[in-house]
Amino acid sequence: MNKIKVMINGIPGNVAIIMAKHAIYDDRFYLIPYSLTGPEITETEHIVGSSTVKLISPSDRDLMINEIKEREGEFISIDYTHPTAVNDNSDFYCRNSLPFVMGTTGGDRELLHNTVISSNIPAVIAPNMAKQIVGFQAMMEYAADTFPGLFNGYTLEINESHQKGKADTSGTAKAMVQYFNKMGLSYEEKQIKKERDPEIQKTKWGVPDEHLGGHAWHTYTITSADNNAKFAFTHNINGRDIYSRGTLDAVIFLEKKIKESEKGAVFSMIDVMKG
């Protein structure tokens, strides 16, 4: 079986490094030894397992990409960079005909989708690559569409905890807001309570020491006006392996779409799971 070539962008970020390790040790994939990185990164290469990955700064990427394409042939880009780079990176991928899987949250999501739709490449874009959590979201979407107004008169509280280095509010939490509001609640994204303090995460939340640097704990609590009824939905993820597995499934799905000559198409993790 021919291996799928992947270029993982965002190294030396933690998620990108974990993704690269999964790609290295998974026989279905070949890791291209290059990675787009941020302007603040001073190192020029990074060791991942047995591979040396050359880091490419934004100022060099336009010069380097043609050389990489000539050397490696066709490949799929995996983006785990920074929220501030989402739209710039997607524009770069589309301009250079580089199909991609975008796991990075943030940015202007409408512009992101429109950029791909106007291009000649397909992409998988999702704020969460964990299939089980995406499945949970799909269940809530079904409930929202099937039982509108179910929680009229109730109040909602959303608490999410992620590692200190996560810059933005959880994309998963933001996505859940729309489903709960369809069910009769009135809640704005800015009300989401996000925790980034490791000491509070450890002492008040109970996040294990070894996962303070990488976790995603979410609780959605719905309470009746008289406080006599309460519903809570919780998903606590330690580490990042669950996202890596989902991302690689997305790559396999996207490879099929490329072979089917899909162009200007944006796919979600729901599409990946159904496919």
Q: What share of the chain is helix, strand, coil (3-state, %, to 5)?
A: 40, 25, 35
Beta 29-31 vs 51-56: how paired, if at all? unpaired
Those residues with Cβ within 8 angstroms of residue 117's Cβ, 6 or more apart along the chain or in another chain: 264, 265, 266
| Tens-digit pLDDT profile for residues 149-165 | 999 999 999 999 999 98
The pLDDT value recorded for residue 106 is 87
Residue listed under structure tokens 């406080």: 227
> 7 - beta bridge partners?
77
Report H helices in the chain: 14-25, 61-72, 86-95, 109-117, 131-146, 171-182, 198-200, 241-259, 269-274
Residue listed under structure tokens 């989402």: 86
The pLDDT value recorded for residue 192 is 97
What structural domains and CATH numbers belong to the chain?
A: 4-125+241-274 (3.40.50.720), 131-238 (3.30.360.10)
Q: Which of 46, 82, 131, 162 is catalytic?
A: 162
Q: Which of 22, 166, 174, 218 is catalytic?
A: 166
Low-confidence ranges of the chain (pLDDT < 50): none
> 194 - beta bridge partners?
160
CA neighbor of 238 nearest in space, from 264, 219, 210: 210
The single-letter code of the amino acid at 81 is: T
Tokens of 196: 């980034």
Q: How many CB atoms lie within 10 A of CB 197?
A: 13
> 78 - beta bridge partners?
8, 101
Q: What angle do CA 94, 171, 98 make, to 5 degrees?
A: 15
Answer for the pair 185, 151: CB distance below 8 angstroms, yes or no: yes
CA neighbor of 117 nearest in space, from 253, 258, 270, 263: 263
CA neighbor of 208 nearest in space, from 238, 173, 188: 238
| Tens-digit pLDDT profile for residues 198-217 | 999 999 999 999 999 999 99
What is the C-alpha separation between 104 and 79, in angstroms, rounded? 6
What is the C-alpha separation between 7 and 2, in angstroms, rounded? 16
Beta 29-31 vs 4-9: how paired, if at all? parallel
The pLDDT value recorded for residue 167 is 80
Identify whether 162 is a catalytic site residue.
Answer: yes
Answer for the pair 124, 271: CB distance below 8 angstroms, yes or no: yes
